[in-house]
Amino acid sequence: MGEPEAVAALKALRPTRSAGLPRPRWAPFEPAALVAGYGAPACWHAAGRLGPLLDGEPAVTAALLACCPADAEPAGLDQRVKSVPGTCEKVRRLGVKHACTPAAAALRVTDVLRYTLRVTAAQALVPAAAEFISRAGAQGIAFLAARHYYLPGSRYKGLHLVGEEPHRRAVFEVQFHTEQEWELMHGPSHALYEVYRDPRTPRATARSALAELRRLAADLPHPPGLDRLEDPWGPLRACGGCRAAPS
């Protein structure tokens, strides 16, 4: 495929309305600029990843919300669909990171549909996740991976599950956060993270932003029971931690 085909594929993308739910946030984007910035192959395969998931989003959302535990609440439902620019960027980045084709990189993007379930405090997080896993499993939803971000030095805290809705084979991500984690993510940490991940940010500035992100996240409580969380997908993976800053 060439640039015209990639531009046309991006232009054709549209979110689907879900009755009773806020419409997914759909930031304006310029298809030609995305193709110029990330390349036609990455954008073509990003559109191919997005399209079927956008079509299936209302049914997936309904199925997952029906599994929500009583002591958790959905948060940020207007952000449940990854942006088109964000998906194109991630396909390009994963292709470089894993030295794979854009088609293979697109399959690694598991958070096109992403949901947050929020609990009041750290001690409620693992029980809520366990109940969600049980309810979803009873509906035939399979979990493919799980990872937590509670290692010392992490710039971010939370528990992520990657699953697949059985009828549409739609892959999704569910994040579990405490209210304190959520408020930090959408408060002081948000602007810092945008600075840190922007490739145009000078390295010294990125290092400073990362250090501040780690400082802000350091005092967030570690949820008890992570090591006992039932893991039908395999070992619960610990991510984050104090890794080297850009240099």
Number of domains in the chain: 1
Is residue 104 situated within a structural domain? yes
In a domain, 210, yes or no: yes
In a domain, 111, yes or no: yes
Domain assignment present for 128:
yes
In a domain? residue 181: yes
Note down the domain range covering 43: 3-238
| Residue 247: inside a domain | no
pLDDT one digit per residue (tens) for the chain, 247 residues: 799 999 999 999 998 887 788 889 888 999 999 999 999 999 999 999 999 999 999 999 999 999 999 999 999 999 999 999 999 999 999 999 999 999 999 999 999 999 999 999 999 999 999 999 999 999 999 998 888 999 999 999 999 999 999 888 899 999 999 999 999 999 999 999 989 878 788 999 999 999 999 999 999 999 999 887 765 556 567 776 554 333 3
Instruction: Please give the Cα distance from 51 to 10 (Å, whole number).
Output: 9
On whether residue 144 sits in a domain, the answer given is yes
Q: By C-alpha distance, which of 26, 147, 33 is closest to 88?
A: 33
Cα atoms in the Cβ-side hemisphere of radius 13 Å centred on 85: 12
